[in-house]
Structure 1
Amino acid sequence: MDDVRRMALFAQVVQHGSMSAAARALGMSTSAVSQQVRALERAAGVALLHRSTRRLSLTDVGGRYYAACARLLDAAGEAEAELSAARHAPSGELRLSAPLGMADHIGPALGPWLRDNPQLRLSLHFEDGWTDLVQARIDLAVRFGRLPDSDWMAQRLGTLQRWPCASPEWLRVHGEPADPLQVPGNEWLGLAQVPGLAWRHRVSGQERQVPAHPRLVSHNQPAVRQLCVSGLGVAVLTCLDVMPLLADGRLVRLLPEWDVPPLPAWAVTPHRQTQPAKVRQAIDLLGDYLGRIPGVSGPAARVSVAGPPPSAD
């Protein structure tokens, strides 16, 4: 590594025309620059520069060596330019992981941005489990629920309201409940391995703990939503899942006087250091998109520490 530094320094000396000019450009003393050049010559076993009181000139081998050093310096400059561009303009591939329930939302959230940045590629990984972001080379993951401590970084995108819903067909058969406990235990639908929810009455403050043993379960939210639309039971769904279904009447919101704990949404990244522009801008766009959906409140905290595996409640 010392030889590489000396090669870059040698190229700077030649380009600036003197030891002192190179020293000023590099923030070093002239004697330190001279010592580094002499160390390079000793290691090479040949003279690279002719020195006089007025000027420096390259030896024959020094000229050939400088050409190679200049290419090294140019490559370093290009590498730094790439890093600078990545910090300020989105480019390259963005590897994004999200639950399957986000599949309908990535396009509306990121589509205009992708059209405006044709140099950017998007690789989508939809999954409802938890992936090791480093091993899978994921730049950004969207996750929901509580996140335990780890070395990964999380930024809150927003908080989603959760509403109990059923189909009109289910309501015709069972009627509309006034209390969560009036829903028969075998009529609940839910995600696998999700604990029961603590419900609170908005006016009286009464609390209900709804059993966490639904008759029909799935590992992904879209499947639970589809079971609910099919009239097979009552499901607690996020506003992100159900707004279009409530609008067109395929689902009906139940128990409006009862509140269910909301669900935080997170942007999780595997690194703590400064993020490239593609990651920063994608996080901002996802947060802006979620903030426009009824039932989603803005982030209460911008930065947090999080990591695998999340709890679903």
Structure 2
Amino acid sequence: MDRWQSMRVFVRVAESGSFAGAARQLHMSPPAVTRAVASLESRIGTRLLTRTTRSLKLTEAGGRYFEDCRRILSEIEEAEAVAAGAYATPTGTLTVTAPVQFGRLYVLPVIVDYLALHSAVGVRALFLDRVINMMDEGADVGIRIGALPDSGLVAIRVGTVRRVLCATPDYLDRHGTPGMMRDLQDHAIIGSMSAGLLGGGRPGGKGRMGVPLRPRLICNTIDAALAAALAGQGIVNLLSYQVAPSVAEGRLKLILDDPDAAPMPVHIVSSEGRRAPAKVRAFIDLAVERLRADPMVNPDRS
């Protein structure tokens, strides 16, 4: 048995916690698995596993060797994939995650065009209003809005969004247009728990610039808060991309200029960088081009 196969056997034994389990998974006999690990230990000159009748544990040297073996074997598999063309032609399933409404409005059109361009790829779209662990969820590409925490993800900035205040023209005709932030306390406020309440996160709380605000309606979803605003029920505070279609159609009107509404960056993130498979690179290239060209996502280029 060659060295690389012996390493594969050792890794499977360590992962499964038993020689018998590794043998079943590898379709090998238990004695062959035992000989492979013994061969490695003999070649290296140190014990990798501590064996008892009831347990199997990695030694300190075995733990380090296990991590190195996994890395080396992963690089070998990657090299084989490159040679086979998996890194040249988009194939397989791509998993993309984004906030719900941003995904529906801006990412889904990119996905549709991507599928049309690459017939050998399928896409799994995870549109969620929460930040997920991309590795745990098996996501290849993510769209993140806001400041990025320190992580191992590779990020490409594609634009900015900001919080805005808006209401229907009819509501403003009936109740007047506020001229400054303090005027908001005389208006019906619509709050969204998904986007953060305008009134400081709770009914009757202090809003921005110390203005006491009492939302008449608090919704647990962005869509519901937006629908209430479109029905003329008050002033809503949402992200610019969330109201952009309604503003463009004239159904909502932007009011004031919230001094606390600092722009928030929009990034495309992935974990593999330049060594990513073709399916990931092709999607990122297309998404960067489309999102940077969209004035709703990248207002500086409008």
The interval holding the TM-score normalised by the smaller chain is 0.5 to 0.7
| Alpha-carbon offset, residue 118 of structure 1 | 0.5
Relative to 1, partners in 2 of residues 1:257 and 1:223: Cα closer, same or farther, differing over 3 Å?
Answer: closer
TM-score by length of 1: 0.59
3-state SS of paired residue (2:137): coil
Matched with 2:176 is 175
| Alpha-carbon offset, residue 155 of structure 1 | 2.6
| Alpha-carbon offset, residue 78 of structure 1 | 11
More helix by share: 2
Matched with 1:13 is none
TM-score by length of 2: 0.61
Contact 1:239 1:294 in 2 (8 A): no
Output aligned runs, 1:87-102, within 5 Å. Answer: 87-101=87-101, 102=103
Sequence identity (%): 30
What letter matches 1:80 in structure 2? E
3-state SS of paired residue (2:138): coil
Q: Supply the distance in 2 between the matched residues of 1:211 and 1:85 (Cα, whole angstroms).
A: 61
Relative to 1, partners in 2 of residues 1:165 and 1:83: Cα closer, same or farther, differing over 3 Å?
Answer: farther
Matched with 1:152 is 153
3-state SS of paired residue (2:158): strand
Matched with 1:250 is 251
Q: Supply the distance in 1 between the matched residues of 2:151 and 2:294 (Cα, whole angstroms).
A: 30
Contact 1:128 1:219 in 2 (8 A): no
| Alpha-carbon offset, residue 88 of structure 1 | 2.9
Q: Supply the distance in 2 between the matched residues of 1:212 and 1:117 (Cα, whole angstroms).
A: 51
3-state SS of paired residue (2:237): strand
| Alpha-carbon offset, residue 81 of structure 1 | 4.3
Give the aligned length.
223
Output aligned runs, 1:185-196, within 5 Å. Answer: 187-192=188-193, 194=196
Q: Supply the distance in 1 between the matched residues of 2:115 and 2:230 (Cα, whole angstroms).
A: 33
What letter matches 1:286 in structure 2? A
Contact 2:147 2:265 in 1 (8 A): yes
Please provide the CA RMSD for this pair.
3.6
Q: Which has the higher contact order (CA 8 A, sep 6+)?
A: 1
Output aligned runs, 1:1-16, within 5 Å. Answer: 2-4=2-4
Q: Deviations over 1:37-87 (max 9, x none)?
A: xx9xxxxxxxxxxxxxxxxxxxxxxxxxxxxxxxxxxxx899724566333
Relative to 1, partners in 2 of residues 1:257 and 1:154: Cα closer, same or farther, differing over 3 Å?
Answer: closer
| Alpha-carbon offset, residue 104 of structure 1 | 2.7
| Alpha-carbon offset, residue 276 of structure 1 | 2.0
What letter matches 2:189 in structure 1? W
| Alpha-carbon offset, residue 278 of structure 1 | 2.0
- Structure 1: where are the runs of 5+ without partners? 7-38, 40-75, 199-206, 300-313
Relative to 1, partners in 2 of residues 1:250 and 1:139: Cα closer, same or farther, differing over 3 Å?
Answer: same
- Structure 2: where are the runs of 5+ without partners? 7-38, 40-75, 201-207
Q: Supply the distance in 2 between the matched residues of 1:78 and 1:139 (Cα, whole angstroms).
A: 16
What letter matches 2:264 in structure 1? L
3-state SS of paired residue (1:291): helix
